Chains A and B, each alone.
Chain A
Amino acid sequence: MSPMGPLILASFLFCVGVYGVIARRNAVLVLMSVELMLNAVNINLVAFQDLLYPAEADASGQVFALFIIAIAAAEVGVGLAIVLNMFRNRASVNVDDADLMRW
């Protein structure tokens, strides 16, 4: 199996995530797009582990994919807490409304 398939799928998911981050205005949807981008990187790591270094004793690719999953879970928790706080204070989850620090 050529590494081109997983790599192209990963870059497609990453670009879809980039589009979502730029084009969506709901903060929860922006967080979802960030999750898509993190998962795209995970596909890359696992694909390189399986197709290029399958016999590596340290299993770097899969271990780092697990670390990224853990960090993404933490990111979603804090991000949703921030979004809920923003909704409570400004009654809106529109990212265009979060302009308090704009000069």
Chain B
Amino acid sequence: MTSQEIVFILLAIATGGSALMVVTSKNLVHAALFLAATLAGIAGVFLVLHADFVALVQLVVYVGAIAVLFLFGLMLTRAPIGREALDSQNRGLGTGVATALFGVLVALIVDAYADFSTTAEQAGREIAGPSTAQLGEAIFSRWVLPFEVASMLLLAALVGAILLSRRDEGDSGEGEFVATTVTLAEPPSAEGELRELPQASGGEA
């Protein structure tokens, strides 16, 4: 067993354990932190697999941005805490489906790759994977069209997220501004009390 495999197995145990905690934790914030740990472990797996740039992108985008986004989402939606509140009655169904799927997948993988030698083992030497420079060259030559489509998709998702999370939908920006001004310019509560006094006396009379 090479050192690469030992590091991979340790990382896999840590990653799988935190992934299990994500779906079984009773505390929402703990689930988000375990998700960050899982994503960091996956970045480590990428490093073991000689994908340095993907590992760094994984750390920056997932652990840095998406985990924080999830924490914001959790704290903006006050959700009840506790296993009964977080899990639906489908827990048994979920366990069954996940276990069956895992069994089928592992059987297929073992059947397909049990006596399989990788390209490096066939060649009998270490073959260097694509470097970051080669990766950039590939993105901007062979994969430039999917790259542009992905950037347009990101722009559309940005606009869509802003549109969805605006407070009053259907209003133009101008109307919203006027409404804010009126709200801010309303007199303080002293006049409200004055206005209520005659009503109260009228009720008594």
Binding site for B on A (CB under 8 A): 1-9, 11-26, 28-29, 31-33, 35-36, 39, 42-43, 46-47, 49-59, 62-63, 65-67, 69-78, 80-85, 87, 93, 95-96
Contact = CB atoms under 8 A, between A and B. Distances in A.
B184 to A, nearest CB: 22
Nearest to A76: B66
B87 A25 contact: yes
B157 to A, nearest CB: 3
B79 A93 contact: yes
A23 B91 contact: yes
Q: Max chain B CB contacts within 10 Å: which of A23, A52, A72, A95?
A: A23
Contact of B154 (A26, A65, A74, A80): A74
Interface of B: 2, 4-5, 8-9, 12, 15-16, 19-20, 22-23, 28, 31-32, 35, 38-39, 42, 45-46, 49-51, 53-54, 57-58, 61-62, 65-66, 69-70, 72-74, 76-77, 79, 85-88, 90-91, 93-95, 97-99, 101-102, 105-106, 109-110, 113-114, 116, 118-120, 127-130, 134-135, 138-139, 142-143, 146-147, 150, 153-154, 156-158, 160-162, 164-165
A52 B116 CA distance: 10
Contacts of A13: 15-16, 19, 38, 42
Contacts, number: 259
A18 B94 contact: yes
B58 A78 contact: no
Contact of B165 (A7, A15, A16, A84): A84
B16 A12 contact: yes
Given A69-B57, A77-B161, A93-B77, A8 B119 contact: no
Nearest to A52: B119
A18 B8 contact: no
Contacts of A73: 61, 65-66, 154
A100 to B, nearest CB: 16
B98 A5 contact: no
A81 B109 CA distance: 38
B98 A19 contact: yes
